[in-house]
Amino acid sequence: MRTTQAQRRFSSGLAAVSGLLVSCHSAFAAGIGQPEPWQMGRQVGVTENARDIHSFEVGLHWLSLVISVFVLGLILWCIFRFNEKTNPTPSKTTHNTMIEVAWTIVPVLILVAVAIPSFRLLRTQLADPKADVIVKVIGHAWYWSYEYPQTDKGGGFTFDANLDESKEPKLLATDNEMVVPVNKVVKVQVTSADVIHSWGMPSLGFTTDAVPGRLNQTWFKADREGTYHGQCRELCGTRHAYMPITVRVVSEEAYAQWLAEGKTKFARLDDGSKLADAR
């Protein structure tokens, strides 16, 4: 009787653990454009930059794991090999030039090895490629507005994007969405109308502060169509948690159609309204 109960407990425990592992695994696989329950990794990147950030991070985790295991090994070795019982007569050594040089130079080399890919990533992020589309993003307490400047392809309108609680995903969907074409360089100019906000898009691989009186610029080139969600990433007030971002990446034809519709659907930009000069 006892054994049966113990067996039952064991198998239900096993089922719980395997359920957990399955959900963790699915969490690793999912996460396109939005966070998933039990997600542990980053959201799937849809720009080269986002994927590079992810693999750099994974590399750093492995590196820290190796270093941690090495240091833990050294500590355990000292505890068990050089305690009073196993090593009653301690060595009188106070210096060892070789070891001292090694423990200075090896960490420096590790840091340099980390700095190289890190700087390469920064350089890509700060690059200024020729823009196919320019969008001005303005943070407000507590929503975002988007301006599409007039170009020969269309545009010349502005609209607000507010949280839409009737839509899924919960607290991430907005009534209007920023729409951009796939495989095109989109330059985003970010500013704020009141307090500091931050335009954070995990799957596009960047976060840009929206500072009143300043224009921050970033860029992305999404290579996968879809709807991607982000949030304000600068604590900006009581409704900070309720100013999500939705970016829809569509085909070039769908984008052209959306631009044409936007002309009548959204507010026209004044003729006098000008965006900062971007190449």
Contact residues for Cu ion, defined by CB under 5 A? 197, 232, 236, 240
204 exposure class (CB count in 10 Å sphere: 0-12, 13-18, 19+): buried
Task: Select 204 or 236, whichever has its Cβ closest to Cu ion.
Answer: 236
CB closer to Cu ion out of 36 and 175: 175
CB nearer to Cu ion: pick between 201 and 232:
232
Q: How far is the CB of 106 from Cu ion (least distance, A)?
A: 43
DSSP string of 127-151, one letter each residue? --PPPSEEEEEEEETTEEEEEE--B
Give the residue with the Cβ less far from Cu ion, 44 or 173.
173
Smallest gap, in angstroms, from Cβ of residue 246 to Cu ion? 15
Shortest distance in whole angstroms from residue 206 CB to Cu ion: 16
**Do residues 172 and 244 lie in contact, with contact meaning Cβ atoms separated by under 8 Å?**
yes
Q: Pick the closer one to Cu ion by CB: 218 or 231.
A: 231
Give me the least distance between CB of 190 and Cu ion, in Å please.
12
Closest-CA residue to 143 (of 187, 173, 188): 173
Terminal C-alpha separation, the chain: 78
Planar angle of CA 231, 137, 279, nearest 5 degrees: 130
Tell me the closest approach of the beta carbon of residue 52 to Cu ion, in angstroms. 27
d(CA 173, CA 33): 11
